Amino acid sequence: MSRTRTVATWTTAVLAAAALAGCAESDRDEGSGGSGGSGSGSDATFVFGAAGAPEMFDPFYATDGETFRVTRQMFEGLLGIEPGSAEVVPELATEWTPNEDGTEWTFTLRDDVTFHDGEPFNAEAVCYNFERMFDQNDAGQVAGEYWGYVMGAFANDADNSLYQGCEATGEFEAVVTISGPTSGFPTMLTLESLSMQSPKALEEGDANGIAAEGEGFSFPEYADNPVGTGPFTFGEYDEANGTISLERNDDYWGEAAKVSELVFRVIPDESTRRQELEAGSINGYDLPNPVDWNALEESGNTVEIRDAFNILYMGFNPDTNPQLQDLKVRQALNLAINREQLVQTQLPEGAEVATQFMPKTVSGYNTELAAPEYDPERAQELLAEAGAEGMTLTFAYPTEVSRPYMPDPQKLYEALRTDLEAVGVKVDVKTASWNGGYLDNVTAGKYDAYILGWTGDYDSPFNFIGTFFGNLKENDFGTSAMPWGKQLADDLKAADAIVDEAERSAAFEEINAQIMEDYLPGLPISHSPPALVVGPGVEGVIPSPLTAEEFDSVTVSGE
């Protein structure tokens, strides 16, 4: 008997010791940034739970949201985005004016800005940045994805580049020349990747010294020591602990940040982020599961719902399934989908039915377009007319992914599949993981139909429908197989080149109507508002439709 007691006592003692240890010294009193425990006002720390680690700190080569979330706090562009909207506002440039044909843009710069390393910000620095981005080696051209995406080419292929040159016409005046007018310029200068960086630091850190090595790219030293002009400066990346800390920039040209330190903690698991928030060890995190929104609010947190700046669509590929080349078939599928019910049951509060391939906050949105009707009977009639009753559709969805426009792809898919089967379409279910073949198969045209979506980079209609249908040879909708495919691509390019904004908007509205009424290359489904959540005592987070929150306005106070 005595022996049993010994072990039992010993076990209990260990557990009790562990418990006592916790009791004796609660974690919340350890300045771990918990519940603003680190003070309030100017000495506070704001700790944000990030879903993934940043990939690097040079925004030019970055492509993912977790990296931009961090770099956004340190870097600024010539143009900024009005917090809480997608509207373009002055940032490092106070004014920008085009010449008559929209090919030369004169930027008037702020004259009171210095980089974090004390270097002055001026027109020369602006042109240095443009030339640095433009003049990339082979590896840099592949890695500098955003420049490639918006400008089309680099210095070695200058004829095909939108960017043509930059000239410092005064200390605080720079002229940027582009090859032709486009709706995307200068709005694209709000992109994180095109931020202004310190020429001296770029030079010293050999910023363009990127090289292909084996199956990856090796990045120069600069990518770990970034220098911008923003309200926060780079502190350190503690990789072993998964924390990135930024310090307040006391020499910031604008209003200084309200917190002295900004910490990003990498917490990959969504339920763990929630528990960290509940325990008070972080002050906020992104993309809380819509299922948790109410519970989070009830326990004293604030769920900030952003405006939706995205689109979920069902794409078709008429190349792989010729039946889809018949407009009647596509219209039938359009009528078969009960979007209203899908939005009500499968998507977070505030989600909306899509009437076209872009959200309503984008210029060029056509307000005349009504939500597509739900009429399964008419759908069946149309299928019969087209001789496609009981057609088989190879229809795919991705696994192992959650995107702002589709929090739970499988559930969305099931709802769509049910609707399609209700009108007699036989669905051949296909699935693959996001990076494990799904995206490859979509681009390679292996599915008749698939679900996918897009989150806008900046306020430009071309960033949505231009991306989808503007490149005739390379788009996921296989429009090159359709008689109207070329017309649509040409119309998009023509509309994009209209200099006058009102006229340009009208042209895009017209195209949006045409896409929905005459072409129907796919089915726009919905727009979902992504949310972020902050704990008690956190004020001043302004939710951004572009998920581009700037944390300099945030205050943290003890409860």
Partner 1 sequence: MLRFVLRRLLQMLGVVLALSLLVFFWLRSLPGGPVSALLGERATPERRARMEEALGLDEPLPVQYLRYMQRALRGDFGVSTKVLPGEDALDIFFARLPATIELAFFALAIAILLGIPLGYLAARRRGTALDNTAVIFSLVGVAVPVFFTGFLLKYFFAVEWDLLPVSGRQSTGLDATRVTGLFVLDGIMTREWDAAWDALKHLVLPAVALATIPFAVIFRITRASVLDVLDEDYVRTAEAKGLTARVIRGRHVLRNAMLPVVTTVGLQVGALLGGAILTETVFSIRGIGDALATAFRDKDYPVLQVLIIAAAAIYVLVNLMVDIAYALIDPRIRTR
Q: Does 436 participate in binding partner 1 (rule CB under 8 A)?
A: yes
Q: Does 243 participate in binding partner 1 (rule CB under 8 A)?
A: yes
| Number of neighbours of residue 213 by Cβ within 10 angstroms | 10
Distance in Å, CB of 91 to partner 1, minimum: 25
Residues 353-392: x/- map of binding to partner 1 (CB under 8 A)? ----------------------------------------
Select 7 or 370, whichever has its Cβ closest to partner 1.
Answer: 7
Residues 144-183 close enough to bind partner 1 by CB under 8 A: 145, 148-149
Select 180 or 209, whichever has its Cβ closest to partner 1.
Answer: 209
Stretch that binds partner 1, among 118-126, 143-151, 247-255, 373-381 (CB under 8 A): 143-151
> How far are the Cα atoms of 87, 122, 173, 428, 530 from residue 169, in angstroms, in the given order?
28, 11, 6, 62, 43
- Backbone dihedral region of 338: left (phi > 0), alpha (psi from -120 to 50 degrees) or beta? beta
Stretch that binds partner 1, among 7-15, 71-79, 158-166, 341-349 (CB under 8 A): 7-15
Selected binder of partner 1 within 139, 227, 416, 495 (CB under 8 A): 139
CB distance 49 to 276 below 8 Å = yes
Select 338 or 467, whichever has its Cβ closest to partner 1.
Answer: 467
Q: Does 433 participate in binding partner 1 (rule CB under 8 A)?
A: yes
Angle at 332 between CA 327 and CA 335, to 5 degrees: 125
Q: What span, in angstroms and rounded, lies between the C-alpha atoms of 131 and 125?
A: 10
3-state secondary structure string across 181-200: CCCCCCHHHHCHHHCECCHH
Phi then psi dihedrals of residue 280, to 5 deg = 80, 10
Q: Does 219 participate in binding partner 1 (rule CB under 8 A)?
A: yes
Name the residue type at position 384.
A
Selected binder of partner 1 within 40, 55, 180, 378 (CB under 8 A): 55
Count of residues for the chain?
559
Alpha-carbon dihedral 251, 252, 254, 257, rounded to 10 degrees: -110
- What are the residue ranges of helices labelled H in 81-158? 123-134, 138-143, 145-151
Q: Does 31 participate in binding partner 1 (rule CB under 8 A)?
A: yes
Q: Does 26 participate in binding partner 1 (rule CB under 8 A)?
A: yes
Select 128 or 219, whichever has its Cβ closest to partner 1.
Answer: 219
Stretch that binds partner 1, among 262-270, 362-370, 506-514, 516-524 (CB under 8 A): 262-270
Q: Which is it for strands 284-286 and 45-50: parallel, antiparallel or unpaired?
A: parallel
CB distance 125 to 196 below 8 Å = yes
3-state secondary structure of 290: helix
Distance in Å, CB of 45 to partner 1, minimum: 6
Distance in Å, CB of 377 to partner 1, minimum: 35
Select 21 or 370, whichever has its Cβ closest to partner 1.
Answer: 21
Place of tokens 């909708």: 477
Residues 269-308: x/- map of binding to partner 1 (CB under 8 A)? x-xx--xx-xx-x---------------------------
Selected binder of partner 1 within 41, 216, 300, 322 (CB under 8 A): 216
Selected binder of partner 1 within 95, 101, 135, 138 (CB under 8 A): 138
CB distance 210 to 218 below 8 Å = yes
| Number of residues engaging partner 1 in binding (CB under 8 A) | 85
